[in-house]
Chains A and B, each alone.
Chain A
Amino acid sequence: MSAPAVELVNVSKRYGEVHALDDVTLAIQPGEVVAMLGPNGAGKTTSISLMLGMRNPTFGTARLFGMDPKDLRARSRIGVMLQESGVPGMLRVEEIVDLFRSYYPAPLSRSEAIQMAGLEAKAHSLVKDLSGGQHQRLYLALAVCGNPDALFLDEPTVGMDVEGRRRFLEEIGELAAKGRTVVLTTHYLEEADQLAKRIIVINHGRVIADSSPAAIKARVAGKRITFSTTAPPEESQLAGLRLSSRQIEDHRVRLLTNEPEEVLRELFRRGVEIQNLEVAGADLEEAFLAMTHHDVAP
């Protein structure tokens, strides 16, 4: 029986008065591809930092391959892409890839790592001359160059263009197919839907859902009603409607409900101005919004 790739046991993390994570327990088995979803400040990045041993839990235990995450033997088995981390601008791409390769016991060859990140044409360039998207790809090269068993990707596709993102997701999909454990945090729900077999939704430092993308979508069976208005509807006009979530941004209204016909009939009856009406099945994004919004205002 091999140890889980990642284990958090009753982990809480406080920054002073702020409770970033609150009694989180989860295990990720080798070979799993897991997406962590949640709004900004929900605790995704904190979770990753604790899994990697970059921060210490206030309470509870974090383990990486059954070891203390700070153990260099555990660190030698992982590759990491972090938000907002920097790399030395005055090194060439091939130099920094070689540098990172030297940290790991059984690394990929330099050309393999550079090729996986699609940076062949930039191998001789100085890091400071790379574009934002190329920077992200360099981080991918540095994450995979140690030939890791597990990859941790914190918001990996931020700053990439559409084509870069597509290619990136393909690469991650291939790594996952080869049995690598992948843990990624993302804002892009379609990314999670496309890559992950398991989604962990975090809000206010707690795990509020942990299941397959399909199961998460099923949790919010129902329809999404979207329309625009010249004046946002008043509170009294929405009172008593059977909605599982609602979002009103300026002149755009999004409602989620299991009884769209009844809700629409009531809206018309109450004289709410409705333009550009759309009714569609809820997707993962709706499910996610419904869950997190529900959590904010029960």
Chain B
Amino acid sequence: MSAVAALNVTASIAPMLARQSYAEFVKLFRVPAFSVTSIVLPSMFYAFIGLGQASEPLYPGSSVTFGAYFLASMALYGVANVMVLGFGISLANERGQKQDLLMKSTPLPAPVFFTAKAASALAIALISIIVLGLFAAVVAGVQLSASQWLTLGWRAMLCSIPFIGLGFALGYLAGPNSAPAVTNLIYLPTAFASGLFFPLRLLPHFLQQIAPYLPLYRAAQLVWDSVGARTEGGSITTDWFYMGAYAVAFFLIALWAYRRDQGRKFN
């Protein structure tokens, strides 16, 4: 075999990853049930719940406005929503339609496939944050410093990473028919119990006891912190530590679920 031929026995990874990411992005984006809910829903919640009381203090005597608190909440809600719901459901659907079968016969390496999926979901998460930020700034008149906007943005994006693992796990564990129900049953109550819609101090006592152990609660502390709306005394180092631990745990569950699925189909 000549040296030139030896170099070309498999395709280059970079163009493959670019094509795959683009394909994953348009696949998600062209499904209105996913793209509209992911991108518009956080702003819609903001309009319904946050708009009327945007300039009021979060609680009596607080220097933080409800508008800033709810902006951070909905930014997190939006990105995690993309990962958990969109991701979990679309992956379950693709498995249901046996799209994984043909892909398995191609020389596409599995890590490229997963990286592309994660990248496309992150792109949609970023769009949802930008749309929400524009809505909050222009319509609700939320005023944050440039550094607060940036911190909120990158923290929300970074906090979405553990939920990529959770989305993957749900996508491989749930069937195509049960996926929407299962993910909603898990995600919505968790978002509520983590204080994303109403400050935790307004929620029932038992929820206040549970909340600190929920991943969304830890992520929420980080995004609230970025706009000065933190509800708990702890340090952000602790919160990041928790996020890291959740990321490891969720990705391990996802890996287990993926292997289980592959073992059933391809063994």
Q: Is the CB of B11 within 8 A of A103?
A: yes
Cβ-neighbour of A98 out of B19, B99, B267 (below 8 A): B19
Cβ-neighbour of B27 out of A90, A98, A104, A146 (below 8 A): A90
Q: Is the CB of A76 within 8 A of B11?
A: yes
Q: Does B107 contact A (CB under 8 A)?
A: yes
Complex-state Cα separation, A191 to B20, whole angstroms: 35
Sort chain B's interface into a size bin. Answer: 20 to 34
Q: Is the CB of B10 within 8 A of A82?
A: no
Q: Is the CB of B266 within 8 A of A84?
A: no
List residues of chain A with CB within 8 A of the CB of B266. Answer: 54-56
B99 to chain A: closest residue by CB: A86
Q: Is the CB of A104 within 8 A of B11?
A: yes
Q: Does A52 contact B (CB under 8 A)?
A: yes
Instruction: Kindly supply a per-residue 1/0 record for chain A positions 84-117, scoring 1 wherever the CB is within 8 Å of any chain B CB and 0 otherwise.
Output: 1111111100011011101111110000000000
Instruction: Kindly supply a per-residue 1/0 record for chain A positions 108-129, scoring 1 wherever the CB is within 8 Å of any chain B CB and 0 otherwise.
Output: 0000000000000000001000
> A85-B102, A86-B98, A99-B20 are known contacts. Are A56 and B267 too (CB-CB below 8 A)?
yes
B30 to chain A: closest residue by CB: A90
Q: Is the CB of B23 within 8 A of A88?
A: yes
List residues of chain A with CB within 8 A of the CB of B102. Answer: 80, 82, 85-87, 139, 142
B175 to chain A, nearest CB (A): 15
> A86-B99, A86-B101, A142-B102 are known contacts. Are A91 and B23 too (CB-CB below 8 A)?
yes
List residues of chain B with CB within 8 A of the CB of A98. Answer: 19
Instruction: Kindly supply a per-residue 1/0 record for chain B positions 93-111, scoring 1 wherever the CB is within 8 Å of any chain A CB and 0 otherwise.
Output: 0100111011011111100
Q: Is the CB of A103 within 8 A of B16?
A: yes
Q: Does A72 contact B (CB under 8 A)?
A: yes
A106 to chain B: closest residue by CB: B8
Hey, which bits of chain A sit against chain B, CB under 8 A?
Answer: 52, 54-56, 72-73, 75-76, 78, 80, 82, 84-91, 95-96, 98-100, 102-107, 126, 139, 142, 146, 152
Closest 6 CB pairs of A and B: A86-B97, A85-B101, A75-B107, A85-B102, A102-B19, A80-B105
Known: A76-B9, A84-B101. 19 other contacts (CB 8 A): A54-B104, A54-B105, A75-B105, A75-B106, A80-B106, A85-B102, A88-B27, A88-B94, A90-B26, A91-B23, A91-B26, A91-B27, A102-B18, A102-B19, A104-B11, A105-B8, A107-B11, A139-B102, A146-B106
What are 28 sample pairs from A and B whose C-beta atoms fall under 8 A apart? Answer: A54-B105, A54-B266, A55-B266, A56-B266, A72-B10, A73-B9, A73-B107, A75-B105, A75-B106, A75-B107, A76-B9, A82-B101, A82-B102, A84-B101, A85-B99, A86-B98, A86-B101, A88-B99, A90-B31, A96-B23, A98-B19, A99-B19, A99-B20, A103-B16, A104-B107, A139-B102, A142-B102, A152-B105
